[in-house]
Amino acid sequence: MVSSQIESRIRASNTLQFSTLVCFLAVSVVSSTAHAHGTVGKRFFPTTFAIEDPFVSDEFSLLFGFIEEPAEGGEPAVNESELEIEFSKRITDRFAISFGGALVHLDPDGTSSNTGFRNIEFGIRQQVLTLPDWESVATLQLGFELGDSGNRDVEAESFSIISPGLFYGIGAGRLPESVSILRPFALSGFVNADIPTEKRSAGEKTSVSVSWGFALQYSFEYLQTNVMDFGIPSPLDRFVAIVEFDLQDCVRRCGGAGTSGSVNPGLIWLGDSFELGLSARIPINDASGDDPGVFALLHFFVDDIFPNSLGRPIFHSEPTR
């Protein structure tokens, strides 16, 4: 008994030492070349709250969201807290895979609360357009939510969902000199279909929906370095002001469901290897919620932290730009 405990401790200690060694090897590899995340020409597109990146990258993201879902069809209103985790890895310079999940806490009015995981999500992404001079980028994505991989208590569906989508970003850097103060603006957006693999589940029809939206952003760093240096001191010069419009429309087997979504005004702060964000989450109509919620984002640029190991495409072929 004692000997097995000792063995177990030694094993645990060896595992930790091994991970320490791996970690140090990862950060100690000699530097070479790799692409920076989210940079197209002189434009940097930050990761935003509800709208996926329009580019491929190596990144690790934590997004906390809170909103009060309204009462619907005899069901009580629910306070919903969610922590989404997503990891994305580039296979080539323009192709990436991702996987993610979410831990959810549902607190309905008048009944007991539930905590559990939503279904696991996978995705493949291909960056199909990159125009540095136009600060423009576009990416195609095929997402897959694995049915029955989460907890039913938090409304994880029993069926899978396939989600093809297009994500884009464009900067305003080519606006004429007379309106140069507007050049720090950029627009990113997406359109995405959510198609269930089954037409019915638990006796009810499963709906097909389209998600779409855009984010209007203004970068103070871009303003300072590329347009007009107003002397904004650090770290205030690293803020990006943003307003997201995140919408969903049911298109087939809707059962009365219409458009829902939120407007998310917030601020993002860009560090050297991570970003922080905070935004309000304002429902656009009664079907989307009663009161404003919140998003909080902590996002790591894995390609900056481990540029020559974990943060580098597995098959790196393109010359650096």
- Contact between 157 and other proteins by CB under 8 A: the answer reads no
- Contact between 106 and other proteins by CB under 8 A: the answer reads no
- Contact between 174 and other proteins by CB under 8 A: the answer reads no
Which region, judged by CB under 8 A, interacts with other proteins, from 113-121, 150-158, 203-211, 300-308? Answer: 300-308
| Least distance to other proteins, CB of residue 26, Å | 8
Using the rule CB under 8 A, which residue among 63, 295, 304, 313 binds other proteins? 304
125: left (phi over 0), alpha (psi -120 to 50) or beta: beta
Within residues 2-21, the interface with other proteins by CB under 8 A covers: 9, 12-13, 16-17, 19-20
**Count of residues that interact with other proteins, criterion CB under 8 A:** 42
| Least distance to other proteins, CB of residue 263, Å | 30
| Least distance to other proteins, CB of residue 119, Å | 30
Q: What string of H, E and C letters represents the secondary structure of the chain?
A: CHHHHHHHHHHHHHHHHHHHHHHHHHHHCCCCCCCCCCEECCEECCCCCCCCCCCCCCEEEEEEEEEEECCECCECCEEEEEEEEEEEEECECCEEEEEEEEEEEEEECCCCCEEEECCCEEEEEEEEEEEHHHCEEEEEEEEEECCCCCCHHHCCCCCCEEEEEEEEEEECCCCCHHHHHHCCEEEEEEEEEEEECCCEECCEECCEEEEEEEEEEEEHHHHHHHHCCCCCCCCHHHEEEEEEEEEEEEEECCCCCCCEEEEEEEEEEECCCEEEEEEEEEECCHHHCCCCEEEEEEEEEHHHHCCCCCCCCCECCCCCC
| Least distance to other proteins, CB of residue 88, Å | 17
Which region, judged by CB under 8 A, interacts with other proteins, from 108-116, 199-207, 240-248, 272-280? Answer: 272-280
Shorter beta-carbon distance to other proteins: residue 76 or 271: 271
- Contact between 42 and other proteins by CB under 8 A: the answer reads yes
- Contact between 24 and other proteins by CB under 8 A: the answer reads yes
- Contact between 273 and other proteins by CB under 8 A: the answer reads yes
Which region, judged by CB under 8 A, interacts with other proteins, from 87-95, 96-104, 199-207, 302-310? Answer: 302-310
- Contact between 26 and other proteins by CB under 8 A: the answer reads yes
Residues binding other proteins (CB under 8 A)? 9, 12-13, 16-17, 19-20, 23-24, 26-27, 31-36, 39, 41-42, 180, 221, 224-229, 231, 234, 271-274, 303-308, 320-321
